Amino acid sequence: MICSSSVHPFATPDCDSCPKMRLMPAPQALADAPNLPKPRVITTEPRLSDKVFRAVVTAGGLSSLVILGLIAVFLAYQGFEILVTEGLDFFTSSKWEVITDEYGDVVSYEFGLAAMLVGTMLCALVAVFVAIPVSVASALFLSFYVRGKLKAILIGSVDLMAAFPSILFGFWGFFVLMPRAEYWAMLINKYLGWIPLFAVDERVFTRSPFLAGLVLAVMIIPITTSVAREVFDQTPLDRVQAAYALGATKWAMIKAVALPYGRGGVVGGAMLGLGRAMGETVAVYTVLNIVYDINWQILFGAGGNIASLILLKFGEARPLEVQALMAAGLALFLLTLLVNFIADFIVKKSGKKGR
């Protein structure tokens, strides 16, 4: 643990690398005791080069926050009118229609996002549930089972896959996965149909949230794997050796040491994947049947997600509908933020136990 004195001036009181900072009592407590000198105010005067560098990295760090904030403000400003007129209905109703007369003037309109919100969550959850086991398994394989050149090649290709254009996943899902997945969906429905989640009212299995979730899963497996592998690779060697020295098999070592250590990384990777899955547009648009009705049946060929709705409608939208799409965008933005906060909370709650 390195704790150079130059760290202190910028360290927060609970900085992990500065145990002394935490042990230091509050100045008031010291001042109360008699016959003790007053604690000195400790300051450092950074050099010019330090100041310049600090300004540069601060600007860099803040810029992403500022851009994010501006996007949120822009979406809220554009969608404000729709949000006010639709009110809560915007999130609870599922109708999305604009009725115009023959001159193209809007006669009446109704914008509801409920079906898309449900669809977004369903597809993303299917994706994450499929992706996590596969990703954890491949990350463990890359970290603990494969060595040398093969390892380098595999890691390279996984990282490459993470940067693969999503339209190609969409194509592959449409032409290759869809015909086969339809059959799998039928099988799941036949044997597990008694579980409400896998039931269908009508036997339409194409272009279902399940299928879109599978395509999304393939899309997010690389990023989730990549993040999890990086954490597993940092498993402290002394603990790994301690486990082996106690007669552990590789699997026992992984269970006792690597998984507890890497849990945070796995959750973090899954959340990155979930975020990507919720915001994914093109791949979902290609393989999902967009229907404006709430559908909880993941095997049934109806659904949608917010991003693909925006893609579908934006091209022909008139100004009023564009505003509604902006509001939908804001909803997606907030949903993603919420999921990330929850994930962050889970990671912190599960804590540094295994660390």
Partner 1 sequence: MTMSTTPESLSAKQKELEKKMTEERSQSHTAPASLASVAQTKVSRPAGAKRLGTGLEARGVHAWFGKNHVLSDISVDFASGTVTALIGPSGCGKSTFIRTLNRMHEFIPTAAMAGEVLLDGKDIYAPGTDVTKIRLKVGMVFQKPNPFPSMTIGENVLAGLRLAQLKSTNKDDLVEECLIRAGLWNEVKDRLDEHGGALSGGQQQRLCIARSLAVSPHVLLMDEPCSALDPGSTLRIEETISELAESMTIIIVTHNMQQAARVSDYTAFFLSDGGPGEMVEYGKTSEIFSNPKDKRTENYVTGRFG
Residue (48 or 237) nearer to partner 1, CB:
237
Report the candidate in 98, 124, 120, 173 with the shortest Cα–Cα distance to residue 290.
Answer: 120
Residue (231 or 325) nearer to partner 1, CB:
231
Residue (221 or 240) nearer to partner 1, CB:
240
- C-alpha to C-alpha distance for 325 and 329, rounded to whole angstroms: 6
DSSP string, 255-286: IIIIHHHHHHHHHHHHHHHHHHHHH--HHHHH
Report the candidate in 234, 261, 229 with the shortest Cα–Cα distance to residue 151.
Answer: 229
Residue (88 or 245) nearer to partner 1, CB:
245
Measured from the CB of residue 152, what is the shortest distance to partner 1 in angstroms? 13
354 lies in the binding site for partner 1 (CB under 8 A):
yes
* Alpha helices by DSSP H, 87-208: 89-92, 114-140, 148-162, 166-172, 178-192
Which residue stretch of 76-84, 172-180, 205-213, 232-240 sits at the interface with partner 1 (rule: CB under 8 A)? 232-240
247 lies in the binding site for partner 1 (CB under 8 A):
yes
- C-alpha to C-alpha distance for 85 and 81, rounded to whole angstroms: 6
279 lies in the binding site for partner 1 (CB under 8 A):
no
Residue (14 or 101) nearer to partner 1, CB:
14
Torsion angles phi and psi, residue 99, rounded to 5: -105, 125
Q: Exactly one of 122, 142, 185, 243 binds partner 1 (CB under 8 A); which one?
A: 243
Contacts of 99 (CB under 8 A, 6+ apart): 106, 107, 108, 109
Residue (99 or 237) nearer to partner 1, CB:
237
Residue (242 or 282) nearer to partner 1, CB:
242
End-to-end CA distance of the chain: 14
Q: Exactly one of 245, 315, 316, 349 binds partner 1 (CB under 8 A); which one?
A: 245
20 lies in the binding site for partner 1 (CB under 8 A):
no
Measured from the CB of residue 239, what is the shortest distance to partner 1 in angstroms? 6
Contact 234, 280 (CB under 8 A): no
* Residue 171 buriedness (CB in 10 A; 0-12 / 13-18 / 19+): middle
Strand partners, 156: none
Q: Segment 119-158, which members bind partner 1 (CB under 8 A)?
A: 147-148
Q: Exactly one of 236, 314, 338, 348 binds partner 1 (CB under 8 A); which one?
A: 236
Q: Exactly one of 241, 338, 342, 344 binds partner 1 (CB under 8 A); which one?
A: 241
Residues lying near partner 1 in the complex (CB under 8 A): 147-148, 236, 238-239, 241-249, 252-253, 256-257, 260-261, 353-355
